[in-house]
Structure 1
Amino acid sequence: MATLKHPQVRGPAGRWLRNRVEAEAYVASVCFKHGPPKLHGVELEWTVHHEDDPRRPLDASRLAAALGSYAPRTLVKDSPELPLPSGSPLTVEPGGQVEISSLPSSSLAELFEVVTADQAFLAELLREAGLVLGDRGLDQHRSPARVLDTPRYAAMEHVFEAIGPHGITMMCCSAGLQVCLDVGEPHTVADRWAAVCALGPVLVAAFANSPTLAGRPTGWASARMRAVLGTDPPRSMPSAIVDDPAADWARRVLDTPVLCVRGDGERWETPVGLTFADWVAGGLARPPTTDDLDYHISTMFPPVRPHGYFEVRYLDAQPGSAWVVPTTLLAALMSDQPTVEAVLEACLPVGDRWLPAARDGLADQAIATAAATVLSLGATKVPGMGLSSDLTTAIVADLDQLIVRSSR
């Protein structure tokens, strides 16, 4: 369930797309793949800092030397790009954030074991070079600065800069916890989609961890989520909770402007205002292919992104091993249809309160009330998630603390 990665040079590939109907059908088929919900995955991001002075800018060559043969080719062009020892791919984000993307697993216990081992290995690899992993969802110490110079990231910065300051913050200062969940059977997809989306404001508030940027308080509980939502609304705003999410997402993808058109040069074309639907209708010299459409989808980052599975992107990075708590909670809350229905009942009334959740966290009373309900529900489901007794007890204890906070 690793995120779709981004090759840096590409010619036309895949089959040609002839019309909008064909393109929308393709999006729906690849983004909503049905089947029994069995698999889980996580993607963990961290900002990276000098251990002796976390305010010092991060240098690409220093990071490359620290990562060695595990460095991705976006950082070192001829790197062997080895996966981490337990199998997780490693990537680097525009500001030098490092990211572990797990392979999908049918066992939460196995997933946690593998990712925890790779997290410890990565932390030690960096420590030997005098670098440390951050523990917040936003860089507490430095202003945004791009470390990676790739055509994709240059195009992103160019497009987002015209909109406002949030894009460069999102690109270079943010670190998230992404949880990946199966779409589910056809008759349950609409409810699972609605539940995972409606949970967003509640879990943003409960696990908000990014009040500071570059040494200054922002006034937001999750300034990371504020930056994401403000980056480029057609790309980053929450998706609608609707009865046919596949069709709605397909329309949204086609109506979103193309961020860039890949080529062989160091700078890619960024056609202003051209939607993918415009491209299909003849807006560029050559028609798009399914490969172009896959790439276009990868440039969209709403709080929940359908990617053949549901990629939950709304959680701030958590300190140390604390990422296992919201990951287990989400898996538990989506584990069966009655629980999904209970989540919907609790969360739909606040499912649109994204900005209040990001700004006020659990100080928003309506969100706090919903949070107390779903945290309690999740705590009752955690013992059935197949984890060790000690880990189960620790997770339930953490959820109980959050329940107390949300009930004040």
Structure 2
Amino acid sequence: MGSTLNESEARDLIFSHAFSRDCAGRVGVELEWLVDVDGGGTGERSRAGLTESVSLLARRAGARLAGDSLVSLEPGGQLELSTRPAGSLSACVDRAASDLATLRALATAQGLVLRGAGLDDRPPRLRIAHPRYLALDQYYRQVGGQGRALLCSTASVQINVDAGDHSSGWRGRNRRWALVNVLGPVFMAMFANSPTNVRGRQVRSGRQVLRLATDPARSGPLPPSDDPRSLWAEHALGTRVVAVRSLEDGAWEVPCGRLTLRRWLRGGGPRPVQASDVRAHLKSLVTPVRACGHLELRMIDAQGGDDWVVPLAVVAVLLDDAQSSDAVWRLLGASAVASGRTGWRRAAETGLSDPALAMVARTVMHIALEGLPRLGVPSWALDAVERYADAYTLRGLSPADRRPAGSAAVA
């Protein structure tokens, strides 16, 4: 049994966990995929048998990925491929592409198809009965809204970059935090890929509209800050606890009422707080930019085919190429990008049909295209970014504009 924590000790733990490495330059990616039976259908094979098929695929892939990526299952049976942190964008791209090719081949051999889209149009179904997922499902039923759809019907490209150091330039922690949070709505609009009808009108990123509307204190954006560590600690302390794990049998129980971590630390919970409780709570925080030792960008919808490489490359060059970072920093200083909760929601709804967002997105893409050759990315990846820019960003479009609401692109 671990030792208990008081509020000051918990704050210190959160503070150190949020930005734990004073470095910049590493990058990783988590690719989530919706999974279908090849050929579609709604029978026993495509519904009841899908859970077993996806679980088998994850086990087989875990033993065969040369790039040492991890394969895991999300609550609705979505498949996630997570690379290890790489020392360069080029290395990250190579590992992800190699391991994804293996995963796709294994999926094909099992009669499965990986779909790259932000939102599944099928009814949400909790397929993976992990105790933590069951607790999350119960919690969201208490909160209301469409929590099960959030858990079971969404997929994203999550990009992980170093949080930075104490310097004031492109490597600096405060600047990197500010940059990704101000750029977040732009990225969301550029890569919107979940067109959905919401109350009679089409939104470009239904996934993000869903996320921002479901338990917004947990999933909503945080502002730029001169002290992001303290900002994150306050956010963690003030957010509701999803579930408390029993010290006897390990079962998860959703607490009654609005039990925040701070209230629990002050004696309002079922038992004293341990370090493992704080760590579990931190995993439940799903802001568009999450501070978890590094910065995890969670606002980008899953992409069709190999277009996952485009947001990965764009984010990495804007954060980790000094010239590109300086250029986009100057751009944001001269632009009026709305990064509050209203700005994030508008970006999810309108995509690049918003003229102001479209103008910033075009400039951001030009900066990225100019900087990527300096990072030595594989030629196919650079070609993919150029094709995407020409097909979408430079025309004021995102993938959602080329698909009917409620559909999903095949990977």
Confirm or deny a common fold (TM above 0.5).
yes
Tell me if 1:321 matches 2:306: yes
Tell me if 1:249 matches 2:232: yes
Q: Take 1:170 and 1:262, find their aligned partners in 2: how far apart are those partners?
A: 22
Residue pair 2:57, 2:106 contacting (<8 A) in 1 also: no
| Structure 1 residues 178-200: Cα deviation after superposition (integer angstroms, max 9, x where no partner) | 00000111232111101001111
Which residues in structure 2 correspond to 1:168-179 (within 5 Å)?
168-179=148-159
Match of 1:383?
Answer: 373
Q: Take 2:63 and 2:273, find their aligned partners in 1: how far apart are those partners?
A: 32
Relative to 1, partners in 2 of residues 1:305 and 1:405: Cα closer, same or farther, differing over 3 Å? same
Q: Take 1:343 and 1:262, find their aligned partners in 2: how far apart are those partners?
A: 46
Moved more, 244-253 or 330-339: 330-339
Match of 2:12?
Answer: 25
Match of 1:5?
Answer: none
| Structure 1 residues 115-159: Cα deviation after superposition (integer angstroms, max 9, x where no partner) | 11211222222222221111211113x111111122212221122
Match of 2:209?
Answer: 226
Relative to 1, partners in 2 of residues 1:236 and 1:374: Cα closer, same or farther, differing over 3 Å? same
Relative to 1, partners in 2 of residues 1:29 and 1:138: Cα closer, same or farther, differing over 3 Å? same
Structure 1 position 272, deviation (Å): 2.5
Residue pair 2:70, 2:83 contacting (<8 A) in 1 also: yes
Which residues in structure 2 correspond to 1:7-406 (within 5 Å)?
12-13=1-2, 15-18=3-6, 20-53=7-40, 59=47, 62-65=50-53, 67-68=55-56, 70-71=58-59, 82=63, 84-140=65-121, 142-187=122-167, 188-212=172-196, 219-263=202-246, 264=249, 268-335=253-320, 336=322, 337-339=325-327, 341-345=329-333, 349-352=337-340, 353-406=343-396
Q: Take 1:185 and 1:344, find their aligned partners in 2: how far apart are those partners?
A: 21
Residue pair 1:254, 1:275 contacting (<8 A) in 2 also: yes
Paired residues, number: 386
Structure 1 SS opposite 2:297: strand
Structure 1 position 63, deviation (Å): 3.7
Structure 1 SS opposite 2:265: helix
Q: Take 1:121 and 1:65, find their aligned partners in 2: how far apart are those partners?
A: 16
Structure 1 position 162, deviation (Å): 3.0
Match of 1:76?
Answer: none
Q: Which runs of 5+ in 1 are unaligned?
A: 1-11, 72-78
Q: Take 2:57 and 2:146, find their aligned partners in 1: how far apart are those partners?
A: 33
Moved more, 84-93 or 384-393: 384-393
Q: Take 1:407 and 1:390, find their aligned partners in 2: how far apart are those partners?
A: 22
Relative to 1, partners in 2 of residues 1:267 and 1:191: Cα closer, same or farther, differing over 3 Å? closer
Q: Which runs of 5+ in 2 are unaligned?
A: 399-411
Structure 2 SS opposite 1:219: strand
Q: Take 1:97 and 1:346, find their aligned partners in 2: how far apart are those partners?
A: 40
Residue pair 2:309, 2:384 contacting (<8 A) in 1 also: no
Structure 1 SS opposite 2:245: coil
Residue pair 1:346, 1:370 contacting (<8 A) in 2 also: no
The residue identity in structure 1 corresponding to 2:308 is W
Q: Take 2:231 and 2:318, find their aligned partners in 1: how far apart are those partners?
A: 24
Residue pair 2:58, 2:73 contacting (<8 A) in 1 also: no
Q: Take 1:222 and 1:162, find their aligned partners in 2: how far apart are those partners?
A: 25
Residue pair 2:23, 2:165 contacting (<8 A) in 1 also: yes
The residue identity in structure 2 corresponding to 1:379 is L
Q: CA RMSD in A?
A: 2.6
Structure 1 length as normaliser, TM-score?
Answer: 0.87
Q: Take 1:328 and 1:285, find their aligned partners in 2: how far apart are those partners?
A: 46
Q: Take 2:65 and 2:48, find their aligned partners in 1: how far apart are those partners?
A: 20
Structure 1 position 339, deviation (Å): 3.5
Structure 2 length as normaliser, TM-score?
Answer: 0.87
The residue identity in structure 1 corresponding to 2:222 is S
